Amino acid sequence: MRLLQHKDLDLRRVKPAFAKLRAAIEAGDFKSADVKKLHVGGYYRAKLDKSNRWLLQFACHGAQTVCLALEVIENHAYDKSRFLRGAPVDEAKIEREPTAYPATVPAAEATPLRCMTPTATRTRTRRPTS
């Protein structure tokens, strides 16, 4: 599965754990990544370590399903997550990577994207206007 990484994703404290989970997600191994669906929207979490979690969302573009790595949730502080509080995912903040992976997640579980380049790997959040 193809993994897209949000440009604002801060991995300084969890880089080795993130690399391990990224490899598992890209191989389609959701069990070893301990991926679980959250009760809020179409979000999932993966266990980075004992106290840190990784917020995920699955999206589709045409027939391809991708995994969006949105943010690291430190110390189980889900209440501080901007995406869980309603911030939309901005497609302009999708990092680009020249790798393609087959779709393995049902399209019914994925969020549709308007536009995605064949090499996109990052997403951006649009801040709501007040």
Tokens of 25: 């997600």
Distance of CA 121 to the CA centre of its chain: 10
Q: What is the pLDDT of residues 59-96, one digit of tens each?
A: 886 788 888 888 899 998 898 888 888 877 777 776 75
Assigned domain for 130 exists = no
Q: Which of 46, 72, 48, 44 is nearest to 57 (CA)?
A: 44
Total-model pTM: 0.67
Asked if the structure places residue 7 within a domain, the reply is yes
Contact, 47 vs 56, CB < 8 A?
no
**Kind and range of the H or E element at 72?**
strand 64-73
Residue 129 is predicted with a pLDDT of 56
Count of other CB atoms within 10 angstroms of residue 5: 22
**Quick check: is 28 in a domain?**
yes
15-33 mean pLDDT: 90
Residue 73: is it exposed, middle or buried by C-beta count within 10 angstroms (0-12/13-18/19+)? buried
Give me the number of domains the chain comprises: 1
Q: Can you read off the two tokens belonging to residue 116?
A: 């995605």
Residues spanned by the domain of 88? 2-125
DSSP, collapsed to helix, strand or coil, labels residue 50 as coil
